[in-house]
Amino acid sequence: MTEKKQVKNRILTGDRTTGKLHLGHYVGSLKKRVEMHYKYETFILLADVQALTTHFDKPQQIQKSVRQITEDYLAVGIDPEKATIFVQSHIPEIAELTIYFSMFVTVNSLRHNPTIKSEAAEHSYKDLYYGFLGYPVSQAADISFCKATLVPVGGDQVPHIEQTRKIVRRFNELYKPILIEPEAVVGKTPRLKGLDGKNKMSKSMANAIYLDSSRSEIFQKVQKAVTDPSRIRKDDPGHPQICPIFSYHKAFSEKTSNDILESCQSGKIGCVECKQLIANQIDFILEPMRERRQVYRSKPKLIDEIVLSGTQKAQSIAKETMKEVRDAMGINYF
């Protein structure tokens, strides 16, 4: 057990690079990440290999998204001096560790992973791609290469962290106890609804407000959002529980959301006014992000420099861990 030297908490978290980030990401994970990165050593992964598991036919989209998402991180207030932002594909040790892990993970345990199941349904996969089915194994390697102790994620990722814990436990039993069983840190906030009121906010559903939206884009999108369909006239009593706009009031202005609830249910506030209030609130939240984003846009090389230096730091940690892993497994012949 002496090998388990590391006691300090270390965070690893990340996003698939399939497009820019939206308010759902902000509420579900980014806000918490900004808070936590001041407290704990933090690694943030641009999961471009994992993005390939569903977007292998869209390499340009992935490439563009690596920079867009980095810009989003910086815009929401991640300090690149405090957090290490890095690209997954440039840490070959993650791929190597994935292969070693894959030897003792059963196909059944992956098939029964509830997130894999629901994502496969979303993509209407009749047959599963090998890489897609195995991405929780690669995610276990993402977390293990830097011996992260905490993984802040949305609720849908919990099965993957559970799978990581099992993989690490098995590795430690089989070879040597050098890897860390991480804990998921799950935010309390439920997934944000999309503007269509039906699905969770997501790029693929075209129901999202992006973090780089202008004030007029926010107003336009909010104006078109679905509300309670049974409300025809302004003074009809509304059903805020089913209205995405009300869910935004709850998520973004908790203090006033009780008043909105009452005024909507009693038909005192109409949808137009209610939408204007929330559009203003969203604009207020995005405004400081716009200012930070401008700083980075005015220095286009800076983003690449930040990701490159983060990737180099991650590479050197990956080398150390993989040396330990190979030693533990006896793959150290020369």
Choose which of 42, 50, 163, 213 interacts with ligand TRP (CB under 6 A).
50
13 makes contact with ligand TRP (CB under 6 A): yes
Q: Name every residue whose Cβ is closer than 8 Å to that of residue 285 and which is 6 or more positions away in sequence.
A: 26, 252
State which residue, 91 or 269, has the beta carbon closest to ligand TRP: 91
Tokens describing residue 231: 């409300």
**Whether the Cβ atoms of residue 71 and residue 303 lie closer than 8 Å to each other:** yes
Tokens describing residue 52: 């390939």
State which residue, 142 or 283, has the beta carbon closest to ligand TRP: 142
Kindly tell me the sign of the dihedral angle through the C-alpha atoms of 232, 236, 239, 245: positive
Kindly tell me the sign of the dihedral angle through the C-alpha atoms of 59, 31, 156, 315: positive
Instruction: Count the site residues for ligand TRP by CB under 6 A.
Output: 14
In the complex, the smallest distance separating the C-beta of residue 18 from ligand TRP, rounded to whole angstroms, is 9
311 makes contact with ligand TRP (CB under 6 A): no
14 makes contact with ligand TRP (CB under 6 A): yes
User: At residue 153, what are phi and psi to the nearest 5 degrees?
Assistant: -150, 165
Binding mask 192-231 for ligand TRP (x = CB under 6 A): ----------------------------------------
Binding mask 123-162 for ligand TRP (x = CB under 6 A): ----------------x--xx-------x-x---x-----
In the complex, the smallest distance separating the C-beta of residue 271 from ligand TRP, rounded to whole angstroms, is 32
Distance CA 67, CA 35 (A): 22
Q: Which amino acid appears at position 266 of this protein?
A: S
318 makes contact with ligand TRP (CB under 6 A): no
Choose which of 45, 137, 218, 222 interacts with ligand TRP (CB under 6 A).
45
State which residue, 75 or 153, has the beta carbon closest to ligand TRP: 153
State which residue, 71 or 228, has the beta carbon closest to ligand TRP: 71
Choose which of 27, 44, 47, 110 interacts with ligand TRP (CB under 6 A).
47
In the complex, the smallest distance separating the C-beta of residue 255 from ligand TRP, rounded to whole angstroms, is 30
State which residue, 159 or 240, has the beta carbon closest to ligand TRP: 159
State which residue, 18 or 247, has the beta carbon closest to ligand TRP: 18
Distance CA 113, CA 159 (A): 6
Q: Name every residue whose Cβ is closer than 8 Å to that of residue 123 and which is 6 or more positions away in sequence.
A: 54
| Residue found by looking up tokens 């791929």 in the block | 95
State which residue, 68 or 227, has the beta carbon closest to ligand TRP: 68
Sheet holding 183-186, edge to edge: 83-87, 41-47, 10-16, 150-153, 183-186
Judged by CB under 6 A, the chain residues 248 through 307 that form the site for ligand TRP are none
Q: What distance separates the 2 farthest-apart alpha carbons in the chain?
A: 80
DSSP label at 205?
G
DSSP-assigned letters across all residues of 260-328: HHHHHHTT-S-HHHHHHHHHHHHHHHHHHHHHHHHHHHTSHHHHHHHHHHHHHHHHHHHHHHHHHHHHH
Distance CA 153, CA 166 (A): 18
- Which single residue brings its beta carbon nearest to ligand TRP? 47
DSSP label at 42?
E
Judged by CB under 6 A, the chain residues 157 through 186 that form the site for ligand TRP are 157
Choose which of 11, 15, 168, 192 interacts with ligand TRP (CB under 6 A).
15
17 makes contact with ligand TRP (CB under 6 A): no
Bridge partner residues of 151 (DSSP): 184
State which residue, 42 or 50, has the beta carbon closest to ligand TRP: 50
Q: Which residues bind ligand TRP (CB under 6 A)?
A: 12-16, 45, 47, 50, 139, 142-143, 151, 153, 157
